[in-house]
Structure 1
Amino acid sequence: MYKVFVVKINHCNPIPTSRGVLSKTIHSIIAGSMLSAVAVTAVAQGSDDANLIEEVMVTGSYAKSLEQAVDIKRSSVGFSDSIVATDIADFPEQNLAEALQRMPGVTIERNRGLGSKVNVRSLPSEFTHVSINGLATASGSGGREVEFDIFASEIIQSVTVQKSPTAADEEGGIAGSVLISTGRPFDYNEPKFVLSAEGAHNSISEEIDPKISLLASNTFGDWGVLASFSKAQRTNRTDANSGINFRPLSRWTEKTGSSKWQADQTLEVLERDTGVVITDPFDSEQTNRVVFLDKVGNRSYLNDQDKWGGTLSLQYQPSDTFTLSFDAMLGGYDNTEDEYDAAAYTASSISALERVHAYDSTTLADYGVVVLRDVSYANTQHEFLSKENVHKTDYTQYSFDMDWEVAGWQVKGLVGYSGVEKLSDTSNLKHVAYGPSRSRYAGKGGETILSDNPGSFDMYNSPGKYLFDSYEVNLESIEDDKYAAQLDFIRPMFLDSFPALAQIQWGARYTDKSKKRDRGTEFVYGPSAGDTSWRNKRTLQDSKLNSISGLVPGGSFLSDVSNSPQWAQVDNGYARSHFRYDGFNVDYQESEYYRVDEEVLSFYAMVDFKFDVGNLPTTINAGVRSVDTTVESYGYHQVQNNDGSTGYTPAPISKQGQYRDTLPSLNLSMELTDNVMLRAAASETLIRPALGDIAYKRTVSVSEFKYRDGNPDLKPTYADQWEIGLEWYLEQGGLLAVSWFEKEIEGVVRESLTGVVKDVTKYNANGTIDGIYDFDVYQKVNAEGSYDVSGVEFIAQFPLSMFHPALEGFGINANLTLLDNSLTGDSDLGIPTPPAGLTDKTWNLTAFYENDVFDARISYNYKDKYVEYIERDMFPVYRDDYGQLDMAIGYHVTDNIKVVLDVINLTDEATSAYTIDPSFPTMYEMSGRRISLGVRADF
């Protein structure tokens, strides 16, 4: 056992900002051992009712970690929720995103069974602002959202999700702000060393993955040093029946010239087999409402991850009035994903309907949509795709933090750097075979089988029919750098003439952010540069083939689905060594380059009042923040050659934009009784557009006949938000809370048609010309008008011993968030659609038991259905509701050594998706159950 300090907050002065005093207090309250409860140092700010410090004995208690989180919530200025070290580390999370999913209003986006991005109150992940040790975090993506899967949860000491901002915050975030803290040496009152190691087994891949983490901390007089490190490997297999989406019949009905037979046959078959008559084949209002299965794919993924992260903190604290801290956080995330895909592209450009076996004109009748459920096609494009996606991400953050009390002022300074470098090498080996086929919806997805046409063939077992099309390699580099400096001045006030004035605060912050992207593509068609001898001549069977169960460990494909297909194709390792000839290289292309620079200078002023309304102690925090933003975007556009030759040449282009904003905020709390608090908050906040959307660049989607351009004139999305709630603080860290919130959001970024490019030549997979078409140009724009999002959040956290002494050690931690919104998505067909990413209901329930030697927790996390995207801007695709059950059991062999058994996805749940209605599935994905056994030592 060891000693820690626990803060018991009694009727003390408010801590008026998440920066300044609160950041110091949060670091002292919530920083602690990865495996133990938290060492706490209270900071009383000139109050007669000082915080009481109680010394207690704790042995890595989950219940105590909940108490610390409640203490943080109670002492915060506005609405917030927190988790601390034990809560983070003692659950079976695979990364930081999964550690956050148990917090009220927080859900995660899953990718191949792994949490990757965080949604606060179900708003899109790009609406959330993330900082580490007070410094906004760089991103390895093209946007601003943080890829949480790069962070190991073991090196994180605490996370607070702040839902109502103050003027002192760098940026409120429309959804909220995620404030991450790492440990510091003076958080501990004695030397500390923690070591943990585990092995985890995945039920599908059948691989065992190691993970190790450690923390060491000590102080030496005025100096202290803390270091932590975590390294983990993860091998996960995911099997999926996916890629099944709607394609409108306009795919063929608009064919002319030598391809007009496709339009004629399609219209004739449609009328003959369904009775549906299209009077004008060029009327998209008719043709877009008759849909078929675009592509039925069977895919198996093998995801290998190697992740490490470390922190270093040096502190100089010569007195209680001065502290200087240096914090460093380094990390690396190498992720290699092999995808093996056998697919039937029914919407082949040289195909048509041949026979409709079954159709559905009733399920989506309200939208006038007819779904062709089971169809034979004239000439399907069958594909075997071996894809290798290699991503290497390096993360770096450094910061100096000063806290100095001088002449009655508290002066805080922060200087820091955050940077990410991400290099992606992605490849796709493509073999193609054409022939008649039959595709249909089947159970959990779709399937492709032989049609009655004598030319139809077994797509899974005919390697001699598949011709080599290409080996495509893409190389992309993203560099994201951010520098920041901030200075805050805080002064507690004791004025006899104005006793209600408790504190004044002001400060300034400067940030300089730059994101640069380079990208290049190279196609291989033969054994040397410029050689095309393999294309449409070399067959699939000319390469070394492996069965799908041999390419990915763990047995047969989709073992829980009856009649699941089996096939053989080319291993990515073979593809890399065989098709990347000597001297192969990918050059970055000028037309793919972009860079965005952003400078922000902001000033704020804030004031705190403390007074009684009747006999009810009341605090008010009010402030305003002025923000001045300058953005400069660099890239290339296409300029027609002026030397007499045909074609276009990339030419550099840049544009500067500027906007200024004034953002007010107000937070109020009133103590109705000693244990019941009323809170209210109002503010205006913003979230800036993704840098990739601002940048000058053009991408093409050949299948959609679209270009997508960047838009340097994009402005932020703004929100006016309000919240009111009641919090009842119970004994032993118990809490019952309810709050109602509303956000009026305007300037939301949407994709819009902004132009047309005439006479674009489009090619088929076999190199022949498909036709000459007009391509639409789409850009992200700030939509006119606004929409409302409102909701109610419930929290219930309490020990069951409140009800009976026999339940000592048992407890509940639960939360529920219900959401409503006034916005419908941007479906071109007018199909009512919620905003992408917005879910109506999420809830979490954790039941736990612990005593001196044993603890057990079981947790269920549920997220209701939500729109992932709108296919072709017409058909909303929903990710189905999903619930996952996790479990953790720990046993203390000695006071210092603990054995832990964790299970992720105990019931082996699958993720699924559908288009508009569940009867039209688009994806069924199995990622398996993960069981880990580990040991943790704390000295």
Structure 2
Amino acid sequence: MSNCRRFPRVPTPRSRLLSRTIHCLLAAGMTSVSLPALAQSETDAEATPTELDAVEVTGSYSRSLEQAVDIKRYSIGFSDSIVATDVADFPEQNLAEALQRMPGVTIQRNKGLGSTVNVRGLPSDYTHVSINDLATASGSGGRDVEFDIFASEIIQQVTVVKSPTAADEEGGIAGSVKISTARPFDYSDRKLVATLEGAHNSISEENDPKFSFLAADTWGDWGALVSFSKARRTNRTDATSGINFRPMSRFLGASDGRGEQAEAVLERDAGLVIGDRTDTDETNLIVFQDKVGDRVFLNEQDKWGATTSLQYRPGNHFSLTFDAMVGGYDTTEDEYDAAAYSASSRSTLDTIHEYDADTLSRYGMVVLRDVSYTATQHEFLSKERINETDFAQYSLAMDWNGGAWDLDALIGYSGAEKTLDYSNLKHVAYAPSRTRWTGRSGETVPSADPDTIDMYDAADRYLFEAYETTLEKTSDDKYAAQVNAARSFDLAFLPALRSAQFGGRYTDKSKERSYGERKIGGPSADDNSWVDSRTLADSPLQWIGDIVPGGDYGMKDLRWQQVDNGYARGFFRYPGFSTPFDDSQFYRVDEETTSLYAMADFAFDVGSVPVAVNAGARYVDTSVQSFGYHPVQNPDGSTGYTDTPVSQAGGNTDVLPSLNLSAELSGGLLLRAAASETLIRPALTDLAYKRTASWSSYRFTDGNPDLQPTYAKQWEVGLEKYLDNGGLLAASYFRKRIDGVVISSLTGVVEDVAVYNANGTLAGHYDFDVYQPVNASGSYDVDGIELIAQLPLGGLHSALEGFGINANYTMLESSLAGESDLGISTPMPGLAEKTYNVTAYYENERFDTRVSYNHTDEYVESIGYNLYPIWRDAYGQLDLSIGYRLTDSVKLSLKGINLTDRATTGYTMDPSFPTMYELSGRRISLGIRFDL
């Protein structure tokens, strides 16, 4: 939905904010503006806003910053924007990385690639995302959008709205990311832009191509635009990971003699006397390493995206626009894993070489740092993940202005389909070995036991366990229709009322998921002859440095041999093999939402201070229907499912008020304030009937159709100083009180569940905990301060002409978001207390350069076993962009990502217990851009 009319162009948008300008905006029913080229004189301010306008891509970074400042200045609420020049010219690999330089925006990285976006430190699924005013599907089934599927080249403008109005579809507890693609009338003349680029990764040593173009033209009342982007990315990540805590209940709870031995070793080597080895409240306070893995990932991506826009605009009072956005994101990730699973079901403690009763003593915890085990499960895993995502979005928008009335309407569809084909070739060797923490990870070495092995050089000891396959297909679809009407007023008896706006929206969203798995144990169906008879040495092996490009493993001085995934897929998948879908794993969730809103805009003077106010409320009615197969317990203790699908209805109704205010205290000094109540709905995957099993952890995880939305009451106040040279200084304080946070909670126990070994033999019967997502009771607060400084430096001295700084800083503080089952207080997972971005730039007519550093403070990534907080370390990345314009229409660019080759690291509870260390390398690209 577009709530704004746009203004005729004038030579510069850096005009003084006058009272009449605010009044003119409100009279047009405007609550946010794409880019008002506002009047520089009182006469211009009184002009009737009839001509549509938009962000113009100039190729200048400083100009794009000025445009973003104008968008912020003339919005009624708190927001920040970037425009096409900033999106395309900065070094980035996808849209997520383009957004990370915005105030309060951080990104989640996965093996060196930005994937999802966090606003103001809150989790990514607290952010509402729309493209061309249509909420976007990504195939994840959650509310978060996987930004890595979108190419940044097809994006024209992104605005992050942090204080919603009643007209917004959904405010999002963190905020709303509003993405716009280009339209033909955004350009005053015919436009043709093409870019060619090649990038080099320092670890994989591969060269990746990227190509994009945009073409737009208008013919009288008609206009058309097409854009296309295609890129290939090959990235290698070397990592040590999987080094999480495991509670000693894993061994002490065993009833086959292993529990007694573990108890004896704890007393002998560490002086720890166990009162009751079946009491998990006691045994969960003694921890050891779960697993140490040396891993190499090779991620190959093919991404393409295209947009089309057709516009009919017979005059300044009517426009009809069809927008289409389609694309595909295909990845193949090979993972080669040499791992030692200390918590093997056959193993127990042999010798404790070192323990730590001091580091976590405040929690009463003892950590076994260096231990020899009786039967470690050594694994060679060749994993292959093939992920194919196709997305499409179509919308038809109408805008009409009839004097005092404005009317806009939209119908649209957004959908994504994702297929995930996963396989894992698993060979296992059980043998004594020794596992311990090292400086930045962990390691497994031979123990003193005579039957120990060098896990990296014993291929004949590794027995084939299974070639595991899974297949998952999901579809995520959303249909929407909306209409909005605005009426401007000039009432003698109520001069402050400038406009009223009202409207409604209907959305129909659904997610459907099919899933199946099958294990191969031999050369044909129902043949398990390879299990425990075929060894790793029976397959052709290659050194890890030869399987993947880039040479030897870079994390440690290690070399090992494994089976290439290409060979595994061709050999182990016998003719006619397929992975069938399991009916019991199917689920579907349908969600319908009807919303109505009304709001009004007021403008008046308090003394000599012009004030603008937007106030309104939205009524939202949501209904949910969840279909699936309800889990039941079979007489033998195993898990079964109902023979026919069952369904459950849910829903909620809400009234969400909002208030936004701005006042110009003096020339260029703006006071803003905002208050609202907003919500974010649960992920559709959490609402679904489904059960997943973790056999090694003795845990079931169910969906919960009774989940309610998470709510937030929030307010913000800030000062913004707009400088005559296009600069900005801003500071704001915000506070959010969040209720109904969705957490995973123990909701039941299934007793005597049969657990089977890979060869089909019964491992035993165990009690399984059942965890479900639930709305946590109580509330918690998030407080934050946000600072922005955008300073062109030319005004300080003529020698600094062309230089500038663009920086922002966000600091957060939250009350207790929850506790682990051990009573350990933790901040909200995903919430980083401090983030900042600093960009220094210089540009002239021919040359430009930008150096950017972005930093995210450490945060809790997850809570292992609901017991031990796992932290992601603070991360900072240095990026560089250099451009030289050969002619007015041809530009060369050199870009560097992660120039300092920063590693991604994490730890459990204390940095002396590292959980991961990942290197994804630096990326250097060279490109040429044609702008005709």
Give the structure-1-normalised TM-score.
Answer: 0.95
Q: 2:4 corresponds to which residue?
A: none
Please give the alpha-carbon distance, in whole angstroms, between the structure 2 residues aligned to 1:885 and 1:44: 45
Aligned partners of 1:651, 1:56: CA distance in 2, in Å? 54
Give the equivalent residue in structure 1 for 2:848. 855
- 1:497 to 1:422, Cα distance in 2 relative to 1, 3 A: same
Three-state SS of the structure 1 residue aligned to 2:478 is: strand
Which structure 2 residue ranges, 5 or more long, are not aligned?
Answer: 1-8
1:834 aligns with 2:833: no
TM-superposed deviation, 1:731? 2.1
Distance 1:339 1:329 in 2: 32
Of the candidates 422, 427, 432, which is equivalent to residue 431 of structure 1?
427
- Does the 8 Å CA contact 2:55/2:67 hold for their aligned counterparts? no
**2:619 — aligned with what?**
626
Given candidates 306, 311, 314, the residue that maps to 2:307 is: 311
Verify the 8 A CA contact 1:823 1:834 in the aligned structure 2: yes
Residue 420 of structure 2 is aligned to residue 416 of structure 1: no
Q: Quote the residue 1:903 is aligned against.
A: 896
Aligned to 1:101: 100
Which residue type is aligned with residue 127 of structure 1? Answer: Y
Match of 1:151 in 2: 150
**Equivalent pair of 2:57/2:85 in contact (CA under 8 Å):** no
Give the 3 Å change call, closer, same or farther, for CA 777–5 of structure 1 in structure 2.
farther
Single out whichever of 52-61 and 739-748 deviates more from structure 2. 52-61
Give distance in 2, aligned partners of 1:292 and 1:885.
36
Q: How far 1:133 moved relative to its partner?
A: 0.4
| Alpha carbons of structure 1 residues 435 and 78: separation in structure 2 relative to 1, 3 Å | same
Q: Does 1:805 align with 2:798?
A: yes
The residue aligned with 1:544 is: 540
Q: Alignment partner for residue 572 of structure 1, among 543, 565, 586? A: 565
Q: Which amino acid aligns with 2:647?
A: S
Deviation at 1:406, TM superposition (A): 1.9
**Corresponding position of 1:204:** 203
1:230 equivalent in structure 2: 229
Question: Mind listing any 5+ residue stretches in structure 1 that lack a counterpart?
Answer: 30-38
Listed one character per residue, the Cα deviations across residues 672-728 of structure 1 (whole Å, up to 9, x for unaligned) are: 012000000000000000000000000111122111111000000000000000000
Q: Distance in 1 between matches of 2:42 and 2:324?
A: 28
Is the alpha carbon distance of 1:369 and 1:764 closer, same or farther for their aligned partners in structure 2, counting shifts above 3 Å?
A: farther
Match of 1:76 in 2: 75
From 457, 463, 486, give the equivalent of 1:461. 457
Residues 96 and 531 of structure 1, relative CA distance in 2, 3 Å threshold: same
2: distance between equivalents of 1:861 and 1:783?
33
* Contact 1:721–1:744 (CA under 8 A) maintained in structure 2: yes
2:262: which partner in 1?
266
- Aligned counterpart in structure 2 of residue 667 of structure 1, from 648, 656, 660: 660
* Alignment-mate amino acid for residue 91 of structure 2: P
Deviation at 1:56, TM superposition (A): 14
Report the identity percentage: 62
Per-residue deviation at 1:48? 2.0
Whole-angstrom CA distance in 2 between matches of 1:522 and 1:55: 54
Residue aligning to 2:46: 48
Q: Secondary structure at the match of 1:435?
A: strand
2:639 and 2:753 in contact (8 A); partners too: no
Match of 1:471 among 449, 457, 467: 467
Partner of 1:700: 693
Q: CA deviation at 1:516?
A: 0.4
* Distance (whole Å) between structure 1 residues aligned to residue 875 and residue 535 of structure 2: 42
Partner of 2:215: 216
CA contact (8 A) 1:351 1:380 kept: yes
Q: Which moved more, 1:816-825 or 1:395-404?
A: 816-825
Change (3 A) 1:40 1:907: farther
1:757 aligns with 2:750: yes
The question of 1:184 aligning with 2:183 is answered: yes
Alignment of 1:438-453 (within 5 A): 438-453=434-449
Distance of 1:313 and 1:824 partners within structure 2? 44
> Secondary structure of 2:457's partner?
coil
* Whole-angstrom CA distance in 1 between matches of 2:91 and 2:446: 45
Q: Matches of residues 93-172 of structure 1 in structure 2 within 5 Å?
A: 93-172=92-171
Structure 1 residue 555, shift from structure 2 partner: 1.1
Counterpart among 369, 373, 396 of residue 373 in structure 1:
369
The letter of the residue matching 1:672 is: L
Give the corresponding residue for 2:6: none
One-letter identity of the residue aligned with 1:48: E
1:930 and 2:923 are equivalent in the alignment? yes
Instruction: Mark the CA change 1:470 to 1:44 in structure 2 (over 3 Å): closer, same or farther.
Output: farther
Give the deviation of 1:828 after TM superposition.
Answer: 0.3
Distance 1:844 1:19 in 2: 36
Check 1:40–1:902 CA distance in 2 against 1; reply closer, same or farther (3 A cut). farther
Measured in 2, the distance between the counterparts of 1:816 and 1:802 equals 24
Question: Partner letter of residue 211 of structure 1?
Answer: K
Across the aligned residues of Structure 1 and Structure 2, the Cα RMSD in angstroms comes to: 2.4
Cα pair 1:200 1:210 within 8 Å, conserved: yes
State the Cα distance separating 1:49 from its structure 2 match: 6.7
| Secondary structure, counterpart of 2:59 in structure 1 | coil
Shift of 1:407: 4.8
Task: Give the superposition deviation at 1:754.
Answer: 1.1
Question: CA shift at 1:17, angstroms?
Answer: 9.1
The corresponding residue for 1:195 is 194
Any idea what the Cα deviations from partners look like across 1:507-557, whole Å, max 9, x if unmatched? 000001011000000110000111111111110011111111111110110
Q: Structure 1 counterpart of 2:716, which letter?
A: E
What is the one-letter code of the residue matched to 2:489?
M
Aligned residue in 1 for 2:13? 7
- Point out the more displaced range, 631-640 or 761-770: 761-770
Tell me the distance in 2 between the aligned counterparts of 1:731 and 1:165.
Answer: 28
- Does residue 617 (structure 1) correspond to residue 610 (structure 2)? The answer is yes
Query: Secondary structure of 1:171's partner?
Result: coil
When residues 56 and 593 of structure 1 are mapped into structure 2, their CA distance, relative to the original with a 3 A threshold, is closer
Cα distance in 1 between the residues matched to 2:100 and 2:450: 53
1:777 Cα shift? 0.8
In the alignment, is residue 772 of structure 1 matched against residue 765 of structure 2? yes
Partner of 1:33: none
* Distance across 1 between alignment mates of 2:471 and 2:748: 29
Deviations 1:245-303 (A, max 9, x none): 100110011111xx1x2111111111111111111101112110110001000000000
Pairing partner for 1:787 from 769, 777, 780: 780
Contact map agreement 1:16 1:76 (CA 8 A) in 2? no
Q: Name the counterpart of 1:35.
A: none
The one-letter code matched in structure 2 to 1:702 is: W
CA distance in 2, matches of 1:641, 1:287: 31
Distance in 1 (CA, whole Å) between partners of 2:617 and 2:55 is: 41
Deviation sequence 1:441-464 (CA, Å, 0-9, x none): 011100000000000011001110
CA distance in 1, matches of 2:520, 2:28: 54
Secondary structure, in 3 states, of the residue corresponding to 1:801? coil
The one-letter code sitting in structure 1 at the alignment partner of 2:152 is S
Verify the 8 A CA contact 1:340 1:387 in the aligned structure 2.
Answer: yes
Larger mean CA deviation between 716-725 and 701-710 belongs to 701-710
Kindly tell me: are residues 648 and 938 of structure 1, through their superposed partners in 2, closer, same or farther at Cα, counting changes over 3 Å? closer
- Which amino acid in 1 is paired with 2:773? K
2: CA distance between counterparts of 1:499 and 1:216? 46
After superposing the two structures, state which structure 1 stretch, 925-934 or 142-151, moved more.
Answer: 142-151
Structure 2 counterparts to residues 289-300 of structure 1, below 5 A? 289-300=285-296
| Structure 2 partner of 1:252 | 251
Is the partner of 1:731 in helix, strand or coil? coil
Alignment pair present for 1:481 and 2:494: no
Structure 1 counterpart of 2:665, one-letter code = L
Go from structure 1 to structure 2 and tell me whether the alpha carbon gap of 1:884 and 1:470 turns closer, same or farther (over 3 Å shift).
same
Residue 740 (1) aligns with residue 733 (2): yes
Amino acid at match of 2:473: S
Residues 818-848 of structure 1: CA distance to partner in whole angstroms, max 9, x if unpaired? 0000024330001121110011100000000
Letter in 2 for 1:436: P
CA distance in 1, matches of 2:24, 2:775: 37
Q: How far, CA to CA, are the matches of 1:18 and 1:371 in structure 2?
A: 67
